[in-house]
Amino acid sequence: MNMNCEQYKEAIAADPSASFGDGATHVAGCNSCAIFRVELQALDGRIARALAIVVPELKIPELPPVGDGNIVSMPVGRKTRRLAPWLAIAASFALAAIIGVQSVGNAPDSEYSLADDILDHIGHEPAALKVTNVPVSDEEFSRVVNPSVGSMDRNVGLISYARTCVIHGKTVPHLVIQGREGPVTLLLLPDEMVERAQTIDRNRVNGVILPVGHGSIALIGERKENIGEIERKVVDSVEWSI
C-alpha cells in the first residue's frame, strides 16, 4: 500500500533515521515530505549534539559556620528543602553549558554554522527540490550566475532551478541540478572561505562544502546520490570574479 504524506511524516517523526515501508518511494516524489525530512533530521542532529555535551562538575562553596562554629543538625524535612536551591543552581549550570555550546556552534564565522544555514535554507524552499527534466532558461541562468559572481559551465548537468538567495548573511546563487537519485542543491559561495572540505552527513542527507579558490561551493543531495560525480564537474567549471 502506498504511503501518504500523513503516514510518512508520522513514521519519520517517530524515528528520523529509520527506513520504513514505502517511505523512500513516497519522499522521492513529494517535495513537502522531502523538506520535512531534511528539517527533522537537522533538528535531530542538533538535539543529539546538545545532549552529548559534558557538563562541568558543580562545586558547592563551603558555608560559613553557624553560631559557635558547630554544625547544626536540621530535621530531615527541612534539610530536603535546603537542597532545592542547589539543585536549581546545578540545572542552571547545565543550561548554561548547552547554551554555550550552541553559541559557539552558531558563531557567524564557524564552518558548522554555514552548514546549518544551508540546510535551513533548503528546508524553506520546497519548490526547488522538484524532480523534472525541464532546465532553466539561459536568461535565468545568466541572471543568477552573472559576472559579479563569476562564471560556471551550465553543462555540469540539468539545472532545473536558479535563484539568488541569502545564505549565511550573503547573497549567493542557489542552483539545483537533477542528479541520478533526485535533485541536488548547488550553492556558489564566492565570499565564504573554508579551510578544508566539510562533509554534511545528516542521516539520509549527503553533502559537502568545498574550498574553491577564494570561495567555496556546497552540494547537498540524497544519501545514495554520487555527489563526487557532480562535484568534479562543478569545481572544474567555476571561476570567481576578481
User: What is the amino acid identity at position 143?
Assistant: R
Residue 110 near residue 169, CB atoms below 8 Å:
no
In the chain (242 residues long), the average pLDDT of successive 10-residue segments reads: 75 69 74 73 66 61 58 48 42 43 42 77 85 94 93 92 89 93 93 88 84 92 88 90 76
pLDDT of residue 152: 93
pLDDT of residue 106: 42
Give me Rg for the CA atoms of the chain.
25
Domain ranges of the chain: 5-10+19-51, 129-240
| Report field, pTM of the whole predicted structure over 0.75 | no
For residues 86 and 68, give the distance between their C-alpha atoms in angstroms, rounded to a whole number.
25
pLDDT of residue 119: 86
pLDDT of residue 201: 81
What's the gap between Cα 81 and its chain centre? 43
CB under 8 Å to 13, separation ≥6 — which residues? 40
What number does CATH give the domain 129-240?
A: 3.40.1000
CB under 8 Å to 94, separation ≥6 — which residues? 55
pLDDT of residue 52: 60
- By CB atoms closer than 10 A (0-12, 13-18, 19+), residue 12 is buried
Residue 177 near residue 226, CB atoms below 8 Å:
no
Q: Pairing between strand 239-240 and 198-202?
A: unpaired
Tally of CB atoms within 10 A around 218: 26
Residue 190 near residue 166, CB atoms below 8 Å:
no
